[in-house]
Amino acid sequence: MQEGTIVSVQVAGQSRQPMNPLQQAQAISDFGIEGDRKASKGSARQVLFMDSETLQEFRLQPGDVRENVTTSGLDLRVIQPGNVLFVGTEATFEVTGLCDPCQRMDDIRQGLREELAGRRGVLTTVINGGQIQPGDCVRVEP
């Protein structure tokens, strides 16, 4: 079992808007994070988790790769679809798969899309909603 911590939570209300860091956010069951443009009932891409260690390696900041939740202490590359992330006291997220880097990554820095292949974090759906915030514990279980 892996454990880590939330470093940052962010949302974007519309496409191409900057990510807006939040002090706390509401995850909604089978929807996503309240106020985020990717929140959608039934979507396999409701919430994107990314680790701060990879961001630091590529000289990026939380939110740069459009993730909703930035973590520390988790190796997201070994997390498998079907694993469950327990966040804070009540929210749970099911991993649906790796997030493939899109063309927008090259808008940040030419070649970043290729560099981030297999390392852009994991996509999840919200199983149980709840409040999440920086400092919350994140626990991964099969």
What distance lies between CA 66 and its chain's CA centroid?
8
- Residue 43 pLDDT greater than 90, yes or no: yes
Residue 8 has pLDDT above 90, yes or no: yes
Give the Cα separation of 81 and 62 in Å (integer): 23
d(CA 79, CA 101): 17
Q: What is the pLDDT of residue 127?
A: 98
- pLDDT of res. 16: 83
All domains of the chain in start order, with CATH:
2-141 (2.40.33.20)
Measured in degrees and rounded to the nearest 5, phi and psi for residue 111 equal 95, -10
The reported pLDDT for the residue numbered 75 is 93
Quote the CA–CA distance of 33 and 131 in Å, as a whole number. 9
pTM exceeds 0.85: yes
CB 132 within 8 A of CB 11: no
Q: What is the pLDDT of residue 83?
A: 97
Q: What is the pLDDT of residue 130?
A: 98
**pLDDT tens digits, residue range 78-129?**
999 999 999 999 999 999 999 999 988 999 999 999 999 999 999 999 999 9
